[in-house]
Structure 1
């Protein structure tokens, strides 16, 4: 059952359910949208993404959520926090994916800021991280706009052994 988690001026972030597979796969399988990932997702990969997040809701009380445009009701991306291993450390990883047709409109920044606030205020997290390919300038810009700073660089074995930037922010 879909449940709204966060609301911003233009977005609703809500839980996924099994009905979201087709819409989610259209985003995750797009080669332009997913150009900074190891590869666009297969249908099986999108199903696993969906299943993993639905399990995270039960296990952690959070995960990645569907990013829904209030004006159209359309799922335009994905944003949230997951516990993930980043350069050998377990971290609370804030991430987002926005479908290419919605790039450059501030949706990622709006969703990421809301997730940051949720993580600190509702979940009581003390630290959030984000990681991205060194050349993913748009994601770096989003993360910097919400107050995260680059902590280190590392070679990411989980993403084609490319140089990856790790950003972090601690709760005040």
Structure 2
């Protein structure tokens, strides 16, 4: 669990120009968001500790800062690049040692390639700040040119991705919608064991290990790249996986269309879960990604899915072909 965020403020301000008010405001809002989320802020600096507070006061961030660690005080006089990296790593490790914490508690926000490598050597994921005038980093989890849209939720998600923790996407009154994991595979096989589930959709792989490998690849290639996909539907009261639903890409007539997909386990069908979950996913897709339209592609005799799509506001457009398969295309306009 992310508890502490290490920030090299001087590097960030130097890279982004000290008189950049927008940058400063973004940093202030980001740190305020972290503090509101009960995250501890740790500042590393090239200056001596007492002088570092001048920078913090100038940024009006001194009231948020829990600890300050000075790289200058940790220098051993060597200038060889590898030793420089090791010195920087010692800063990260000293923070862990002095606070009796674990690397798993931290994420670093830095503005130098060396610090990215050093954090990585200390097993701490990082966000790399890069000004437009400078070259990019190669090893940071993510890069950013500003902090206007970076808040505690975003930083937590970067941390979770680095530690392979599934993202919680959103929730409804009765369900949590989160990313699927390989640990969900057994529950999926139980759901798919009901013959009616595969009447209108493809089954899972006959070999469970093949399904596990597919899910691993899906996490890396779909969740990490698009930040959407087919997600797990978890019942809040029981913690049980009761289905999956989400947004996928489907090619149609040379264009990529966004498709809403949904599956609810048989014991939970006809209880409003499909509508509840899909309605929330549609809202999320509109608010989070700004999508204009979402499609459903449904077999003509899948009456239950057609009724659900219509209840959600989808309208029939036409019959389309995918190879030998003919499906009914329904469309929902999210922007008028």
Normalising by the residue count of structure 1, what TM-score does the alignment of the two structures yield? 0.88
- Distance in 2 (CA, whole Å) between partners of 1:129 and 1:6 is 20
**Residue 5 of structure 1 pairs with residue 5 of structure 2:** no
* Partner SS for 2:237: coil
Q: Choose from 158, 174, 179 the match for 1:15.
A: 179
- Structure 1: runs of 5 or more not aligned: none
Equivalent residue number for residue 27 of structure 1 = 191
Distance in 2 (CA, whole Å) between partners of 1:165 and 1:63 is: 21
Distance 1:25 1:155 in 2: 29
1:165 aligns to 2:331 (yes or no): no
More deviation, 114-123/48-57: 48-57
Instruction: Identify the match of residue 290 of structure 2 among 115, 124, 127.
Output: 124
Coordinate RMSD, CA, aligned: 1.9
Kindly state the Cα deviation for residue 71 of structure 1 after the two structures are TM-superposed: 1.8
TM-score calculated relative to the size of structure 2: 0.47
Relative to structure 2, which stretch is displaced further, 27-36 or 118-127? 27-36
Task: Give the whole-Å Cα distance in 2 for the aligned partners of 1:144 and 1:116.
Answer: 13
Quote the residue 2:277 is aligned against: 111
Classify the secondary structure of the residue corresponding to 1:34: helix
What's the counterpart of residue 241 of structure 2?
Answer: 75
Q: Between Structure 1 and Structure 2, whose CA radius of gyration is higher?
A: 2
Q: Of the candidates 145, 156, 168, which is equivalent to residue 322 of structure 2? A: 156
C-alpha deviation, 1:40, in angstroms: 2.4
Higher relative contact order (CA 8 A, sep 6+): 1
Per-residue deviation at 1:28? Answer: 3.4
Structure 1 position 155, deviation (Å): 3.3
Conserved 8 A contact 1:128-1:170 = yes
Matched residue count: 168
Give the structure with the higher percent helix: 2
How far apart, in 1, do the equivalents of 2:268 and 2:217 lie?
25
Correspondences of 1:86-97 after superposition (within 5 Å): 86=252, 88-97=254-263
Q: Which stretch of structure 1 is more off in the superposition, 135-144 or 51-60?
A: 51-60
Q: Which runs of 5+ in 2 are unaligned?
A: 1-164
Q: Could you tell me how far apart the structure 2 residues matched to 1:167 and 1:142 are?
A: 11
> Is the alpha carbon distance of 1:45 and 1:156 closer, same or farther for their aligned partners in structure 2, counting shifts above 3 Å?
farther
